[in-house]
Amino acid sequence: MDASLLIIFWYGVLHAFGPDHLTAIADFSIGKNRKKTMLITVLFAIGHGISLFIFAKILQSFHFKGELLEYGDIISATVIVGMGLYLLFMVFTDRIQLKKHIHNGEEHIHIWFGKSHSHDDKVQEGGSFTMGLLMGAGGVRGMLITLGAVGSGDVNLLMVAFFTAGVMLIFTLFGLIISYLNNRLLSSKRNVRGAFAVAGVVSLIVGTNILLS
């Protein structure tokens, strides 16, 4: 295997540890079962890779990449801040609901946003993919620097696939941790509200820090 692809994979691993990415995964995964949490993390990683590939290809045609790349950081940070504000709004307006069901003799905890039981999980799953697309703009800078160090700097699908695989590895492991915490801790509405409140505050801190740095 080409050593440059391994470097790209490793960059994806390191890139996934960014606090903005882990915060985004937590925001969407709190209160979800393991299957949905894994789906959310995979969709986020795929969206992130696709977005990075598109932005990198576009930016390669410009001479002043540095100035344009700054907007990518602003976009990703703004998304995180917006998500934090949204979660805190849900908490303080009592729009986070929890209900326990019994399925085949086993207790099932159901968490959703809103005042009633009308909701659609596909919206949140689709939201994780969309957030991955938006936040991909923030990863372009590091990808182009890495590519410049390992090759010609030309982005191709194979490189993005290895980058996405690295991102997906960490996101999946983090998703498993969130899933474990969901099962262990989020058994009451109070705990769920507290978890979303913490996620909202962390999102604001992380996003604001990126904007001010």
- What is the pTM (predicted TM-score) of this model? 0.72
DSSP per-residue string spanning 45-61 = HHHHHHHHHHHHHHHTT
Residue 13: pLDDT band (50, 70, 90) is: confident
Query: 102: part of which helix (H) or strand (E)?
Result: strand 96-103
% of the chain surpassing 70 pLDDT: 67
Question: So what's the pLDDT on residue 42?
Answer: 86
| Greater model confidence, 141 or 211 | 211
3-state secondary structure of 108: strand
- Evaluate if residue 179 carries a pLDDT over 70: yes
Residue that the structure tokens 């890495």 belong to: 146
For the chain, give the mean pLDDT: 75
Question: So what's the pLDDT on residue 77?
Answer: 80
Residue 22: pLDDT band (50, 70, 90) is: confident
Residue that the structure tokens 């960059």 belong to: 11
Question: So what's the pLDDT on residue 201?
Answer: 93
Name the H helices within 93-188: 121-135, 140-150, 157-185
What average pLDDT score do residues 19-37 get? Answer: 80
**Structure tokens that stand for 173 in this block:** 């492991």
**Structure tokens that stand for 61 in this block:** 């045609």
Alpha carbon distance 163, 166 (integer Å): 5
- Which tens digit of pLDDT belongs to each residue from 143-177? 555 555 455 556 677 877 888 888 889 988 988 88
Domain count for the chain, please give it: 1
- Which tens digit of pLDDT belongs to each residue from 71-91? 667 777 888 888 889 889 888
Q: How many CB atoms lie under 10 A from the CB of residue 57?
A: 14
- Evaluate if residue 142 carries a pLDDT over 70: no
Q: Show the domain range for 173.
A: 3-212
96 forms beta bridges with 113
- Evaluate if residue 64 carries a pLDDT over 90: no
Question: So what's the pLDDT on residue 192?
Answer: 81
How big is the CA angle at 113 (ends 112 and 114), to the nearest 5 degrees? Answer: 120
* Winning range, highest mean pLDDT, from 41-50, 135-144, 154-163: 41-50
